[in-house]
Amino acid sequence: MAVGRPVFWDEERRKNAIELILDDIYAGRSCRQILDKADRNIFPSFVTFCEWLSEDAKLAKHYMRACDARADKIFDDMLSISDDNSNDTFIDDKGIERVNQDVVQRSKLMVDTRKWVLAKLAPKKYGDKLDVTSDGEKLQPAIINIVKPNES
């Protein structure tokens, strides 16, 4: 984590930092990736950015849209990885075409990891579970009354 003197965030510096952060999120990077080792003269700390999010509803909405776009980028990356078969085979010393299992398994791991991340980042859109009972609304728990027979 980059450590340095505290930086005063006037409105223009704050606005520029936010624009850079959101652009990077749209490009597919996480907030931690952007801010953990960033130049503190340009970017705030992760904690400072989280404070900005909690204090500014408009910024929070922009951040959520950027995170949704990042999830879509991750999905697109999965398709690209799956479709790229350029190194899946090789010609061995005898001139026979062979499957490069290391490349295939690495691609599988990359796609599976992204699938897991997407299910956590955007479960309604990319999760495995489908809600077919409530139209996405939170259901109220059922109330069951237990009636005791009259004791006579």
Length of the chain, in residues: 152
Give per-residue pLDDT as tens, 65-115: 999 999 999 999 999 999 999 999 999 999 999 999 999 999 999 999 999
CATH of the domain at 105: 1.10.10.60
Cα distances (Å, whole numbers) of residue 60 to 17, 43, 46, 49: 15, 17, 14, 10
| pLDDT tier at 151, thresholds 50, 70, 90 | low
Look at residue 136 in the predicted model and tell me its pLDDT: 61
Confirm whether 52 is domain-assigned: yes
Percent above pLDDT 90 for the chain: 72
Confirm whether 138 is domain-assigned: no
Cα distances (Å, whole numbers) of residue 147 to 9, 64, 69, 144, 151: 64, 48, 53, 9, 12
Between 102 and 129, the higher pLDDT residue: 102
Confirm whether 109 is domain-assigned: yes
Mean pLDDT, residues 59-65 taken together: 96
- First-to-last alpha carbon distance for the chain, in angstroms, is 74
Confirm whether 151 is domain-assigned: no
Confirm whether 80 is domain-assigned: yes
Confirm whether 103 is domain-assigned: yes
- Domains contained in the chain, number: 1
Q: Which domain holds residue 95?
A: 11-126
Confirm whether 17 is domain-assigned: yes
Give per-residue pLDDT as tens, 19-39: 999 999 999 999 999 999 899
pTM for the model stands at 0.72
